[in-house]
A and B are shown apart, each in its own frame.
Chain A
């Protein structure tokens, strides 16, 4: 079976060097790596941000060859920055992502944004704002979700709820997700696969348990697992 995402030889000047990657239907891959290792750059390159070189195909279609209407159904990108300058209403902002009103209503319900749906985004807390932006990315149900630190700013309950919701949704719809995340334990718990990045390259890719106990995490992060804890390598 052909992979759902095929990315070949992706590069961005000084940030990402000749990265290739595939994702299967329904797969949740967690992207880990220290600050500046190229996680965001890889998400950018797949999303077509910043004129990357290389080739991306989602279900055999190159996103750069299709217009916004079709592209919305192929991929969705959630940036790590949660800054928004226009004080739009929550529902309007989610609609701007290209989903129809039924999809938006469903996502608002799933992320429990109903009580704030008619409020202005600048009047919400940082955590609520994050959930709104996540809803914008999820609502059009694109084949591939590219999420940069989706659990940042969320309280512990919502971190669990979001990752559980994501996992269930991928299983039900066959969408795939590439999620950049700093919480290694969450990556192991929710990821079908962990991809480790360092200096703009993929240095390890595979089963979460094997990756976290393998030598790359130790080398790249300078930490190692001791029982249930992570501690610096001495």
Chain B
């Protein structure tokens, strides 16, 4: 990634963050005229957490997706397609509705444990260098299992309103999160990204094959463990606060690699920036779409991401045939 691209990405991130904070601006401007204190509260208590969560969650999904794709040497590996987000959602639901712990820290621990379990199961089922079909089928099976268990946990929950309560969250939502909740997602997510960035070189070298990476002095087993634990930590912490959001972790690394000449490890940073941009844009669409109510953000990312995924599969098939 050259300096111009980095500068453009930074500028785009700054504009997206400001747009997320200030749009729609008319109501905010009116409120500033009437009650300055209330307007400031609206900006700081409501819009700031939402804008910050969109940036942080998007960046985490982008960086985690890039790291998982580099690890599995597969452009279709991503937190949602590997079952990581579904596992995290299951962990959070079990913690909140069956075990009764609803504090953000408990939800985070539950979600991280769920994400770790899903990734460990994937590694056991598909192996570390899985073929695309094996990887997708294993991820699908884990997602389906985690989804079914999440529904079961909600059905068995003591609260009769569990399904209704959890629906918005399960579809992914950045609405009405507090600054404290934002911090609970942001701190593990930032830690994840900083530590993932330290793995850029070994993940790039993994592109030469596991044997060559090992011969160059990289401990591939330790690398695998670090990527699995770090992505589980980052994605789990974000899912605990904002629910499961799909496709960003698949799409952002693909664009990220376009900026790094295809280097899978170096793509982590641009993928984080692109993930943050995409989720912020999706949130703006969710908030400003003229449908009379706010859409669940997971629906927006799925509506935009699923056609991209289909294009990707068709593109890969076409390349295999040619």
A residues contacting B by CB (< 8 A) are 44, 47-50, 63, 66-68, 71-72, 75-77, 79, 81, 83-89, 92-93, 96-98, 120, 136, 146
Contacts and interface: CB of A to CB of B under 8 A. Distances in A.
Contacts of B204: 96
A198 B205 CA distance: 32
A88 B204 CA distance: 10
For the complex of A and B, list the 4 residue pairs with the smallest distance between their C-beta atoms, beginning with the closest: A77-B215, A47-B215, A68-B217, A71-B217
Interface stretch (B58-66, B78-86, B180-188, B259-267): B259-267
A86 B216 contact: no
Given A85-B73, A86-B262, A97 B217 contact: no
Contacts of B216: 68, 71-72, 97-98
Interface string B197-221: 0000100110111011011111000
A120 B217 contact: no
- Counting chain B CB atoms within 10 Å of each CB, the highest count among A44, A49, A71, A85 belongs to A85
A93 B204 CA distance: 10
A120 B216 CA distance: 23
B86 to A, nearest CB: 25
B178 interface: no
Size range of the interface on B?
Answer: 10 to 19
A86 B215 CA distance: 19
A96 B211 contact: no
A44 B211 CA distance: 8
Most buried by A among B204, B215, B218, B263: B215
A75 B204 CA distance: 19
Which residue among B74, B204, B212, B263 has the maximum number of chain A CB atoms within 10 Å of its CB? B212
Contacts of A81: 209
Contacts of B211: 44, 47, 49, 77, 79
Contact of A83 (B74, B209, B218, B262): B209
Nearest to B214: A49
Given A44-B211, A48-B215, A120-B262, 18 more contacts: A47-B214, A63-B217, A67-B217, A68-B205, A68-B218, A77-B211, A77-B215, A79-B211, A81-B209, A85-B74, A86-B264, A87-B262, A92-B261, A96-B204, A96-B205, A96-B208, A96-B263, A97-B208
A176 to B, nearest CB: 16
A76 B215 contact: yes
Contacts of B261: 88-89, 92
Contacts of A97: 208, 216
A79 B209 contact: yes
A47 B212 CA distance: 9
B302 to A, nearest CB: 27
24 contacts: A44-B211, A47-B214, A47-B215, A48-B214, A48-B217, A49-B211, A49-B214, A49-B215, A79-B209, A79-B212, A84-B207, A85-B74, A85-B207, A86-B73, A86-B207, A86-B264, A87-B262, A92-B263, A96-B207, A96-B208, A96-B263, A97-B208, A98-B216, A120-B262
A46 to B, nearest CB: 9
Contacts of B207: 84-86, 88, 93, 96
A87 B73 CA distance: 11
